[in-house]
Amino acid sequence: MSLALLLSTVLLSAPAEGVKWSDGSFDNALKKAAESKKLVYIDFYTDW
């Protein structure tokens, strides 16, 4: 119980960086993500 409380306190007190969207090419986004060791989030939709 105390470990869960500690983890939730640490996670909730961490500053949020926010999402930085990119309009570049997919290859460029992958290169940037690899350099900064971050994930790539792909958002797409359709309204058929």
Q: What is the pLDDT of residues 5-48, one digit of tens each?
A: 776 776 666 666 777 777 888 899 899 999 999 888 888 889 98
**Residue 13, domain member (yes or no):** no
Residue at 42 is within a domain: yes
- Assigned domain for 40 exists: yes
Q: What is the pLDDT of residue 10?
A: 62
pLDDT at residue 35, as a whole number: 95
Residue 27 covered by a domain: yes
Q: Is residue 39 part of a domain?
A: yes
If DSSP codes are grouped into helix, strand and coil, which group holds residue 31? Answer: helix
Domain of residue 31: give its range.
21-48
Region of 18 on the Ramachandran plot (φ > 0 left; ψ -120 to 50 alpha; else beta): left
Distance CA 11, CA 5 (A): 10
Q: What pLDDT shows up at residue 13?
A: 65
What's the domain count of the chain? 1
Residue 10 in domain: no
Residue 26 within a domain: yes
